[in-house]
């Protein structure tokens, strides 16, 4: 979910294929730049996170998230917050 008006992106992750209940949440705030490139779009399918990369820049943090369907690049002013969700 990307909220352009608030410059916020939240990604919910689960490690349980049988449940959509998130077990972890990654929250990006103060998003300065956002780009999503579909590589194998499958409407109605849940995306699987394959990898992520974080690079510290002067005053910014750049992220590359790769799923089985797309690549997401974003730049923020602060590091992402990762938290566990209660089961």
- Domain ranges in the chain are 2-84
Gyration radius of the chain over CA positions: 13
| Residue (of 44, 85, 40, 43) closest to 66 by Cα position | 40
> pTM, whole model, 2 decimals?
0.83
9 CB-near residues (< 8 Å, 6+ apart): 1, 2, 3, 27, 28, 31, 34, 74
The 3-state DSSP class for residue 64 equals strand
Output 5 or 83, whichever has higher pLDDT: 83
The pLDDT tens digits of the residues spanning 29-63 come to 999 999 999 998 888 888 889 999 999 999 999 99
* pLDDT reading at 4 higher than 60: no
């Amino acid at each position: 979910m990307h909220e352009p008006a608030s410059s916020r992106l939240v990604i919910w992750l689960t490690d349980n294929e049988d449940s959509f209940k998130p077990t972890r949440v990654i929250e990006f705030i103060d998003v300065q730049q956002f780009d999503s490139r579909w590589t194998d779009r499958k409407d109605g399918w849940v995306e699987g996170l394959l990898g992520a990369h974080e690079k510290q820049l002067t005053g910014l943090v750049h992220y590359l998230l790769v799923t089985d369907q797309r690549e997401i690049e974003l730049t923020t002013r602060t590091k992402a917050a990762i938290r566990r969700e209660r089961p």
